[in-house]
Structure 1
Amino acid sequence: MSSLPFSVNRLAAPLVHALVADAAMLRIGVEQHPAGCTVIDAGIDRPGSLEAGRRIAEICMGGAGSVRIAMDSPFAHWPTQVTVGAADPVLACLGSQYAGWSLSGEKFSALGSGPGRALAVKEPLFAELCYRDMADRTVLVLETDKRPPASVVEKVARDCGVPAERVTLILTPTRSPAGIVQIVARVLEVGLHKLHALHFPLDRVRDGVGCAPLPPPGRDFVQAMGRTNDAILFGGTVHLLVDGPDDDAADLAARLPSSASADYGRPFADLFAASGFDFFKIDPMLFSPARVIVTAFESGRSFTAGALAPALLDRSFGIGG
């Protein structure tokens, strides 16, 4: 695999440094793990913040993406929106942000996302991206409410090829403010992952942006997980610019939205419970934005599909109760 012109780990490093420097303001904790790495608590014992989540999302994208929080959502009851863009959306989202590295040990399990994945290259996806990063320090974001055991820290350091002292792990519980933002900020990544699952060539993606409403925190993990998923499934919009003929762009648009899945139509927490809390019983094609616009770059024609679902969003987010 050949290196691309920029390093997601090197771009993310100053963002991590700034996160640590501003820890008190962001209401996050910084501590040294017994195994040597730096641990950033963004919602376990420290409250964290929406701004911490915004910054963490940009770190997760390897410093190659931008995340904005603003009161410009189209939803009457949920005005706050997360908007995401990237200089190189495929690399920022799939090569860094995607939660594709499974880490477990000693009653601990979490999916790792962020620049560390591009050093460890444990996933077949990196062969398709033709990318392997080189750096002397790294960072991973873990969606978890537990600190990882030493065995997981040692595995991350070993697989990334850096000393544990040069590893930073950012912990973001699902129902924390930081966790909510960094999950919803995956709206563009979710669209690109679905595009990849539909076998559309990644090298034909020129650019993309995405947005989704910010949900309220859930009362527990299942409700919080359901609301963050529904923010994208029922409220997310992604606009992609792609190379190739109009027919390919039109076909992609038709198959990309969440409504193209047979499992679409009820809040994710309800669907998850009905499946016996087994993710593998849920159609993987469900995980995609509610609405998509696909523009064929050469012709300039755009194709739209899907629709925002405010009633389903209200039901998921608990309006009035």
Structure 2
Amino acid sequence: MAISVNQYAKLIVDRMIEDAQLLQINVNKTSNGAHIIDAGVDARGSIIAGELATEVCLGGLGTAKVITSQYGDVLLPSIMVSTNYPPLSTLGSQFAGWRITNKEGKFYGMGSGPARALSLKPKKMYQEIDYQDKSDVAVLFLEADKLPKDEIVEVVAEGCNVAPSNVYLVVAPTSSMVGSIQISGRVVETGIHKISEVGLDPKKIVYANGSAPIAPIHPDSTKAMGRTNDQIITAGHVNLFVDYDNDDELGEIVKKTPSGGSKSYGKPFYQTFKEANFDFYNIDPGIFAPASVLVNNLKTGKSHVAGKIDIPLLKKTNGL
């Protein structure tokens, strides 16, 4: 039986709806029947809601746990993510690849999660991993500062070819507990995306796990965006287990993966973003990567390591 990331994610969403009060989230229904799970816009949200939202983004094919980790001489909250389906759970689901807005441009949200595998956003990525989901239910995480209404539900429903009443949207802004957790929870996805961009076929990745600190919450969404990106860029670490024939070739690919090789590296991301006139297209895309990577070749037993955790820059961006 084919794996459906939307059906697996729906199991987690059902739990979130049932335990909404305990998770400190709100569940609303639009007039066209969609479920809107507010995990940080009007609701406070919670740490456990952040773990579950991260697992929703992974299409139910990974685990996420908030722990405490040591970075230099400080202890920080961090998130550990693991998956036995690396390309599918990350590129096929978690990758933030669907920009969603309405006709007036008054709503903007970045969509990630399993509904992308129905809408094929972006199509090239799904061709690379050879996957398209089949489901009558669409589950999407929206990073947005306000809750979507019927019009946005229609956009998602149409893109996924499902009924509006079968759309489930989990929503949280960057400047919220759930928002901060789920962005750090993208550490493995960021590593897999970057290493595939520099030459590794993602289908060669058999297992993956990783961790990153969780950014202190900042009420300014733009500054929060800078901080949350920095957790992965300065201190994210990813372990990949791959089947690969050529160790020399693999080693060269791994060297190109960490964020430290980017020309934009070396300052808090908010500063880089500001200098680029707040335009992502003016920033070297190579910066969007974990700080360090370890790749174990299952065929040869050899491991390749690149990058390092940048404690001074992490402390600077977190105001420590």
Q: Give TM class, smaller chain.
A: over 0.9
Query: What does 1:1-321 correspond to in 2, within 5 Å?
Result: 5-105=2-102, 106=104, 107-123=106-122, 124-244=124-244, 245-319=246-320
Map Cα deviations across residues 62-92 of structure 1 (whole Å, 9 max, x no partner). Answer: 1000001112343432422101011201100
Give unpaired runs (5+ residues) of structure 2. none
**2:223 alignment partner, SS class:** helix
Give unpaired runs (5+ residues) of structure 1. none
Shift of 1:36: 2.5
Shift of 1:249: 2.0
- Tell whether the 8 Å contact from 1:78 to 1:213 is kept in structure 2 after alignment: no
Larger deviation, residues 78-87 vs 174-183: 78-87
**1:234 alignment partner, SS class:** helix
Aligned letter for 1:217? I
- Tell whether the 8 Å contact from 2:226 to 2:268 is kept in structure 1 after alignment: yes
CA RMSD of aligned residues (A): 1.3
**2:235 alignment partner, SS class:** coil
Map Cα deviations across residues 28-87 of structure 1 (whole Å, 9 max, x no partner). Answer: 000012332110111111111111011010011010000011123434324221010112
Aligned letter for 2:73? A
Provide the rounded CA distance (Å) in 1 between the counterparts of 2:196 and 2:80: 21
Provide the rounded CA distance (Å) in 2 between the counterparts of 1:227 and 1:21: 32
**1:71 alignment partner, SS class:** strand
**1:216 alignment partner, SS class:** coil
- Tell whether the 8 Å contact from 1:78 to 1:214 is kept in structure 2 after alignment: no
Structure 1's consecutive aligned runs of 4 or more residues displaced over 6 angstroms after TM superposition are none
Provide the rounded CA distance (Å) in 2 between the counterparts of 1:112 and 1:208: 23
Q: How many residues align?
A: 316
- Tell whether the 8 Å contact from 1:108 to 1:149 is kept in structure 2 after alignment: no
**1:189 alignment partner, SS class:** helix
Shift of 1:161: 1.5
Pair 200,74 (structure 1): closer, same or farther in 2 beyond 3 Å: same
- Tell whether the 8 Å contact from 2:83 to 2:89 is kept in structure 1 after alignment: yes
Aligned letter for 1:312? L
Shift of 1:102: 1.5
- Tell whether the 8 Å contact from 2:51 to 2:181 is kept in structure 1 after alignment: yes
- Tell whether the 8 Å contact from 2:273 to 2:280 is kept in structure 1 after alignment: yes
Shift of 1:243: 1.9
- Tell whether the 8 Å contact from 2:68 to 2:78 is kept in structure 1 after alignment: yes
**2:69 alignment partner, SS class:** coil
Larger deviation, residues 99-108 vs 12-21: 99-108
Shift of 1:100: 0.5
- Tell whether the 8 Å contact from 2:6 to 2:114 is kept in structure 1 after alignment: yes
Provide the rounded CA distance (Å) in 2 between the counterparts of 1:234 and 1:173: 22
Provide the rounded CA distance (Å) in 1 between the counterparts of 2:72 and 2:100: 37
- Tell whether the 8 Å contact from 2:69 to 2:213 is kept in structure 1 after alignment: no
Aligned letter for 1:223? K
- Tell whether the 8 Å contact from 1:79 to 1:213 is kept in structure 2 after alignment: yes
Provide the rounded CA distance (Å) in 1 between the counterparts of 2:33 and 2:118: 19
Provide the rounded CA distance (Å) in 2 between the counterparts of 1:122 and 1:67: 24
Identity of aligned residues (%): 39
